């Protein structure tokens, strides 16, 4: 009985392979189109997932804040960060860390509070607001003299 089942399975496999040979079907053994063989226009991505320019964390020249001559990001934060005196007292000496991308044109994108680095929803929201206000006020980071996108972190001290 056991041998007859093996015999039937073998006959099915042989008949399928001979059918494929007769019809001339091509059964690929490996993918014919890989990511390496596709042209950029043929690569399909979901909207918003593909960014043409990478974001760097290490650069030759860091981005610089250029709002008013001799103005620093710290001064800008002091002038534009608003919260109640109660919150200031409660969180004195503590920090909020914001991460953003400084674009090649000096604008700011992808602004977010680093996970576990926020203090309070109201303070975090204010830090995000102030960071977004800096958009367009940055000189770009550079590698080999060429402007690039840069992942930047800003520390807000309470």
pLDDT tens for each residue of 71-111: 789 999 999 999 999 999 999 999 999 999 999 999 999 99
For residue 15, being part of any structural domain is answered with no
Residue 105 confidence (pLDDT):
95
Separation between Cα atoms, residue 24 and residue 22, nearest integer Å: 5
Three-state SS string over the chain comes to CHHHHHHHHHHHHHHHHHHHHHHCCCCCCCCCCCCCCCCHHHCCCCCCCCCCCCEECCCCECCEECCCCCCCHHHHHHHHCCCCHHHHHHCCCCEEEEEEEECCCCCEEEEEECCCCCCCHHHHHHHHHHHHHCCCCEECEEECCEEEEEEEEEEEEC
Quick check: pTM over 0.85? no
Residue 144 lies in a domain: yes
Compute the average pLDDT of residues 114-141. Answer: 95
- Quick check: is 21 in a domain? no
What percent of the chain is modeled with pLDDT above 70? 66
Residue 72 lies in a domain: yes
The answer to the question of residue 112 being in a domain is yes
Pick from 100, 99, 90, 79: which is nearest to 158 by CA?
90
Look at residue 20 and tell me whether its pLDDT is greater than 50: no
Q: How many domains, in total, are found in the chain?
A: 1
Residue 156 confidence (pLDDT) above 60: yes
33 belongs to a structural domain: no
């Amino acid at each position: 009985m056991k041998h007859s089942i093996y015999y039937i399975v073998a006959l099915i496999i042989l008949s399928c392979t001979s059918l494929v040979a007769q019809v001339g079907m091509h059964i690929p053994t490996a993918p014919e189109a890989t990511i390496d063989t596709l042209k950029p226009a043929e690569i399909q991505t979901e909207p918003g997932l593909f960014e043409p320019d990478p974001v760097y964390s290490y650069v030759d020249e860091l981005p610089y804040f250029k709002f008013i001559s001799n103005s620093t990001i710290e001064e800008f934060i002091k002038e534009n960060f608003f919260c109640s005196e109660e919150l200031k007292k409660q969180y004195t000496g503590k920090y909020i860390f914001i991460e953003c991308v400084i674009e090649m044109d000096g604008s700011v994108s992808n602004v977010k509070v680093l996970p576990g680095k926020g203090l309070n929803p109201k303070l975090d929201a204010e830090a995000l607001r102030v960071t977004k206000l800096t958009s367009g006020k940055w000189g770009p980071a550079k590698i080999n003299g060429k402007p690039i996108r840069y992942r930047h972190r800003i520390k807000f001290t309470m």
